[in-house]
Amino acid sequence: MVNPLNINRRSIGVNFTANNEAEILLWAPMANKASIRLLDSNRMLALKKQEFGYWHLHTTQLQTGELYSFVLDEKLELPDPASLAQPGGVHGPSQAVNLNEFQWTDQAWINPPLEEYIFYEVHIGTFSERGTFRGLEKKIPHLKSLGINAIEIMPVAQFPGERNWGYDGVFPFAVQHSYGGAKDLQHLVNVCHNQGIAVVLDVVYNHFGPEGNYVHQYAPYFTDKYKTPWGMAVNFDDAWCDGVRHYFIENALMWFRDFHVDALRLDAVHAIKDFSPVHILREIHSYTDSLIRQQQRNHYMVVELDLNDTRYINSVDKGGYGMDAQWIDEFHHALRVTAGGEGTGYYSDFEGVKHLAKAYCDAYVYDGIYSTHRHRKFGVKAAEHPGSQFIVFSQNHDHIGNRMLGERTSVLVSFEMQKLLAGAVLVSPYIPLLFMGEEYGETNPFLYFVSHGDPELVENVRKGRKAEFAAFHIADEAPDPQAEETFAKSKLQWDLPEKDHHKILFDYYRALIALRRQLPALHRLDRKQLEVSHSEANKTLQLHRWHNNQHVLCLMNFSNAPQTISVTTGQRWKRVFDSADPQWSGPAASADLLTNISVLTLQPESIVIYTSNYV
């Protein structure tokens, strides 16, 4: 029996040995016969049946770069479910790729501790004019100058056409061809590592996209035991689930081992349905841990989670799944409502500065309290979890792109509020994430876009978008997701960072990120050394953090009028940063020094930072 899971090398699909022999492993448990068709030479090679539904073959007749497909029972011809390349799109044949051909030069790279990450989320297609991995490489100096040390790339698994957010991927192992394919992604990671930047990849293990999804014709990849927003759930605990679990474990290991990716961001893990004794996330963690020990390279797994359930981020020895960190949407929701955002849809549960203060203290706003939006108690307490297990943001692809017109913060709030929102995130006791273009106030929207080939599917997508906005009481028509213009409007404008207030905002972000790194009280994510107070009437918030003998006081005014605030801590404070400083095009800076008891007037929509032991 060929072992279908090996941490040292990719086993499934088509792979190449050291002597350039192709090793083929296909999981098709319901087939009576299985063959591989070599399209370039028009040859058909029979695969040999193994245990547990696997089919296997060693051959020298398939070379790197050749096109191929699998044929089941001499009649059903399909692309490889573990394909590494789909140059003709999701409906075309697969292409043989040797992942071991790339010459890595990142041997000196050391993945920094997760708590030191400054995440920067990018969509490859809209980040640069070229919309490719090579296009992103050209912007690395911009990111380095900003202070970014971790790029988070939205999903790159092959999707239909050339325009998609990435969550409609149907070949989890194949790197989107229009972005540059596998070797260009390897090249990007190598360049980033040599520039001191970690690479995080967004992966989707909770569903497959609706077009070009052929895996169900090979095996029971889905189960009707559970329903998800996308239909039947991926089969992680029903009959024949072992092959499905191996498929996704292999996928995670491939990104870490063969692409040198530093961390995975796992999309919406609450939609992964698994009641096995060992949850699939815990099993992926176990194999990843083995890989880490063997290769002496650290890797992280970050989850998007909408359950406020610490089981996902608890260590395995505490009965958890061992995930390293999670996104915290609730911090975002509380922050947006505090800043004057609409309180409809999922924002209706949030009460502004009161809940923002709770998010600073408790991570989860809903930690066992009653949720009016859900009509039930929701969540558990996360008091014992360090700040390095939570990732926060003022905007991301979801909360921009899921607006009907895809408006960014820059066109929804004032310039002063943009600066305040940035400050609120970067002084938090959590890991910060920026969304591409945020740092200079990009004004182009980030819209939802697709390029499906099925007209009926396109129409269903349009109808689905309209239904989604009904929850926010929006009746107007959204931009057509299928239109190329919708995609084009979402591209970043790289002439902006050097213009007027855009340049000021970029310099502001850069200074704030540098300050976060400079002050131990800010960059040490100790949630125990933190105090928060707030005034609902004045929409002000005081955040006091400390480490050893250094204390930092962050004073925020979310109202559109000056507010008086009393500082009564027994410290002597020196101002080290002020969003209202004329340096940042603000109206006026606050007092340079505060004594034991001071009354301070905060400018509208501003944040000022003081330290008691400055450097």
Q: 205 near 248, Cβ under 8 Å?
A: yes
Pairing label, strands 550-557, 325-327: unpaired
Q: Are 575 and 592 in contact (CB under 8 A)?
A: yes
Question: By the 8 A CB rule, do 427 and 607 touch?
Answer: yes
Instruction: Catalytic residue, from 137, 211, 237, 267: name it.
Output: 267
C-beta separation of 272 from 312 below 8 A: no
Give every CB contact of residue 336 below 8 A, 6+ residues apart in sequence: 347, 350, 394, 399
d(CA 263, CA 150): 9
Query: Chain-centre distance of CA 543, in angstroms?
Result: 27
Q: How far apart are CA 115 and CA 263, in angstroms?
A: 13
Structure tokens at 481: 């997701």
Quickly tell me which residue has 């004032």 as its tokens: 414
List beta partners, residue 574: 593, 611
Residue pair 269/282 in contact by the 8 Å Cβ criterion: no
Apex CA 496: angle with CA 494 and CA 497, to 5°? 85
Q: CA 62 to CA 37: how far, in whole Å?
A: 10
In terms of residues, how long is the chain? 615
How many Å apart are CA 551 and CA 530, to the nearest integer? 10
DSSP state of 114: G
CB 157, CB 172: distance < 8 Å: yes
- Is position 267 annotated as part of the catalytic site? yes
Q: Which of 263, 209, 254 is nearest to 231 (CA)?
A: 209
- Cβ of 458: how many Cβ atoms within 10 Å? 17
Q: Write down the catalytic residue from 211, 304, 362, 439.
A: 304
SS (H, E, C) 405-446: CCCCHHHCCCHHHHHHHHHHHHCCCCEEEEECCHHHCCCCCC
Phi, psi of 456, deg, nearest 5: -65, -40
Residue 442: both structure tokens together = 């990009």
Q: Is 211 a catalytic residue?
A: no
Q: How far apart are CA 521 and CA 526, in angstroms?
A: 8
Kindly list the catalytic residues. Answer: 267, 304
